[in-house]
Chain A
Amino acid sequence: MNPTISLTIDGQPVEAPADATVLEAAKAVGITIPTLCHHPNLTPPAVCRLCVVEWEGRRTLQPACATQVAADAVIHTRSERVDLARRTILEMLATTVDLSDAPELRAMMADYDAHPERFGEDLTRREHDPIIDNSFFVRDYDKCVLCWRCVEACGTDMEHAFALGFSGRGFETSIATFFENPMPETTCVFCGNCVGVCPTGALKDRRVFELEMALATS
């Protein structure tokens, strides 16, 4: 039997299994922590930092999706510091990535009062041509927030095909195939499980992509 521990989240006493994450413990008592890279069926990569929470006594903000609860912890999910971190992350994403296919993220921006325009006009955006190299799905990395879900779904969390990784460094980082080869020349088996977990429409059924193009021009 998994032992239960007690902690406090947002002033509320919480009982949680000792191996639960902060995200799970909060969810169990109805506290919603926003997530982006986290997906219930995948290993949390903890790269987006949207789910960070303030843990009294710990120096840095903690990613709720990948942090285990501890006895007597006092955690704040909407402190000023947390809100600032989330707002800044959302603003930085919005200045560089096309979020038009990510309604949840846009709703979050309203929630956190994010104003990407405060960084000024004329910012370099991450721009790519859509990659249409197979009959099944399109990769439109303009919309990619590098959440890593597709890489995990292609790897040991789901498909074991290992067709996706990344290329580039820093701002130029992009999800990519080896040597940026076209999909049919990789180990891809076109299961589309990457499409299924993509939160921002960067990966899309080719039929949907083409319909959108057609509707946009008609």
Chain B
Amino acid sequence: MLTFDRIVPTTCPFCGVGCQINLHIKENRIVQVSADFDKRPNYGELCVKGRFGTDFVHHPTRLTKPLIRKDIVLGQPFGKARQAASVAEAYREATWEEALTLVADQFARIAQESGGDAIGAFASAKLTNEDNYLFQKLARAVLKTNNVDHCARLCHAGSVVGLMRTIGSAAMSNSITEMEHLHTFLVTGSNTTYAHPVIALKMLKAVDKGARLIVVDPRRIEMADHATLWLQQRPGTDVAVFQAMAHVIVDEGLYDKDYVASQTEGFEEYATHIQRFTPEWAEDVSGVPAWKIREAARMYATAPSAAIYWGMGISQSTHGSDNASALVNLAMLAGHLGKYGGGLNPLRGQNNVQGCSDMGGLPNVYPGYQPVSDPAAKAKFEKLWGTELHDKPGLTVVEMAHAAGEGRIRAMYIMGENPATSDPNLHAVYEHFSNLDFMVVQDIFPTETARFAHVILPAASWAEKDGTFTNTERRVQRIRAALPAPGEARPDLEILQDLARRLEARLGVHTTPGWNYAGPEEVWHEVGQAASEFAGITYERIEHEGIQYPCYTEDDPGTMYLFEDGVPRGKGKFWLMDFRPPVELPDEDYPFNLSTGRLLYHWHGGALTRRSRLNDAAPEPVVEIHPLDAKKLGLVSGDLARIRSRRGEVVARVRVTDRSPIGTVFLPMHYAEAAANLLTLDALDPAAKIPDYKNTAVAVEKAEAADWQLVLA
């Protein structure tokens, strides 16, 4: 029997469920992962990624030394960013001293020449709250720019805007603990069994106990097989279905009259507005039978309490904020806010995307969502940080890339993000990055993005540092150093402070309390001062189990579900919207709709899971095609297919399956060799600036083995 050197409790680094895991360490390797059966939120349950996928930390391609591009000679001007084919050929190893001096010199030079707003900073939903807090503080207080954003822009920006403008809070309102006891719930645009596997298990338990499940999704995802009602709408017609459901609820008088009267505003106008969105109209638009829409509306509205869960299918759309607001309208009509087993629940993707947003990793807000444009908030942070700040909101992720292309952004600091696979329309992104005068990437692997950089800084992985992650249900949980970092890799917190000290010296900026935090706990203490909803959470209190914010004082148990005393906006606002079709619809040249998404075995850009044994379970890109479409195209499972859009093309293996609806093909986002985002378009939601990853017009044709080789090479 194997004995372990130590067993370290921590939080899973993959998705937003935030499962509590134990790393079993032998000779400084993770050899096994277990979970405690009595610990929230997962109670001992894990998915394949958490239990078997953490071996990426030992992958031989881990960055172990600072790297500087070989063609850079100190003191002389050097070329723009460009993607290197190989790290070994294009970079040389450097000391930390040399690398940080170069980075500080260049950032300081560009900030002095063109102002702080010529620098763009990408925070990271994979890193800790403390890392992200210091990162945005560095950008705002030292570099003097609000150009801080992260991948939440590409995932839940639609939800955030859709929720903020109607109820004033964007976090998941209810808890994972409640899921087993649901009465009725609606899941839409979320392939929960793949993207949040452990949450899906809790939902299935509720279904076993008799809960009624309404799935609204164009793909026959696994949850649809467990559903009481499955509404299979045409891709991009979500708003039509939800508006028609609202129509039924109002028309049949099923709405919660007390809640609507006391907690909301704009109902009269809204009720008039949705009169024309009949279920019959929605059937024409969405293909969902009118009777099903009626049934779903009745089921949802008449339940004593009913929850709505959604994922990327709702948010990642050029009308993502409308989709989310349409769901808010439903919840307000039915009065399902502020109660157990109800609420509006955007399922957050990354392990700490909630935390990164909370910590102010966004261009328009300080930590705790205090707007940079609000003079009171600005004054508060100027006092806390002891330096002048500026009130102009910064640029978002996709806007920063565009600004780089136009030369308005000259330098980028990217910490633990991989926009060169995750941004839409990659060919354009590559061009934009290639216009940068200076680019620094801080990561654990030489990602597609890192290979554009002038300087690559090697960071410690999640298993090699301390800190906190905030999961999708607002639970702040500890991560712990279980291993030494490989080579000279350093925790992000140390790198940031080292760099900040150098930048302050060069720019003549002084912030309080300086950049000499003893560790993440001290940073977390400052977070509590910056945003009161975290003030009650201390490392000591979350030693064994995390606490759900808001938590204002040390005797506050935290908040299981929000809005019990009304929504933060005061009164919920019914949002009026019209149905808008997707920007790019299939046509004669590009007859199919492409939807992108996730697999169970991989994670986002694949930087981690492609370097883990998880890759054995899903080693190559597979495109899912409906049997009738496959027949027309002369394709069978196992064939290769070329998928072309107006922006690019990829080759993937074919799987014929009715999981995809007729006319829609599905391509996972995890494979750099068939990067789905070479195809997607960078049209943005006007309010949320989120791109549409679910609707791209493509052509599909049979490909040959030679094409496959070409792609791999």
Interface of A toward B, CB cutoff 8 Å: 39-41, 100-101, 103, 134-137, 156, 158-160, 184, 189-193, 195-197, 201, 205, 207-208, 211-212, 215
Contacts and interface: CB of A to CB of B under 8 A. Distances in A.
A197 B197 CA distance: 18
Interface residues of B, number: 29
Given A136-B613, A205-B31, A205-B52, A191 B47 contact: yes
B153 to A, nearest CB: 30
Interface string B1-29: 11000000000000000000000001000
B554 interface: no
A191 B1 contact: no
B564 interface: no
B31 A207 contact: yes
A159 B31 contact: no
B387 interface: no
19 contacts: A40-B38, A100-B1, A134-B617, A135-B52, A135-B613, A135-B617, A136-B613, A156-B204, A189-B47, A189-B600, A190-B617, A191-B47, A193-B45, A193-B46, A195-B51, A201-B1, A205-B33, A211-B26, A212-B2
A185 to B, nearest CB: 13
Contacts of A192: 46, 48, 51-52
B46 A191 contact: yes
A208 B55 CA distance: 13
Contacts of B575: none
Contacts of A41: 37, 43-44
A208 B2 contact: yes
Contacts of A211: 2, 26, 31
B208 A196 contact: no
Contacts of B613: 135-136
Contacts of B2: 208, 211-212, 215
A41 B42 CA distance: 11
Contacts of A100: 1
A196 B46 contact: yes
Interface in B80-96: none
A205 B26 CA distance: 14
Contacts of B538: none
A191 B197 contact: yes
A156 B52 contact: no
A212 B1 contact: yes
B177 interface: no
B370 interface: no
B32 interface: yes
B403 interface: no
A28 B495 CA distance: 51
A205 B32 contact: yes
A208 B48 contact: no
Contacts of B38: 40
B614 to A, nearest CB: 8
Given A136-B52, A156-B205, 11 more contacts: A156-B208, A159-B201, A190-B48, A191-B47, A192-B46, A193-B51, A196-B34, A205-B52, A211-B31, A212-B2, A215-B2
A103 B617 CA distance: 33
Closest 6 CB pairs of A and B: A192-B51, A135-B616, A190-B48, A136-B52, A135-B613, A205-B32
In this complex, the member of B31, B35, B201 whose beta carbon has the largest number of chain A beta carbons within 10 angstroms is B201
Nearest to A210: B31
Contacts of B201: 158-160
A120 to B, nearest CB: 27
B48 A101 contact: no
B1 A101 contact: yes
Contacts of B600: 189
Contacts of A136: 48, 51-52, 613, 617
A201 B1 CA distance: 9
Contacts of A101: 1
Interface in B161-218: 197, 201, 204-205, 208
Contacts of A197: 44
Nearest to B205: A156
B45 A158 contact: yes
A35 to B, nearest CB: 14
Contacts of A134: 616-617
A101 B1 CA distance: 6
Interface in B40-72: 43-48, 51-52, 55
A208 B617 contact: no
B43 A207 contact: no
A135 B614 CA distance: 8
B194 to A, nearest CB: 9
A121 B17 CA distance: 52
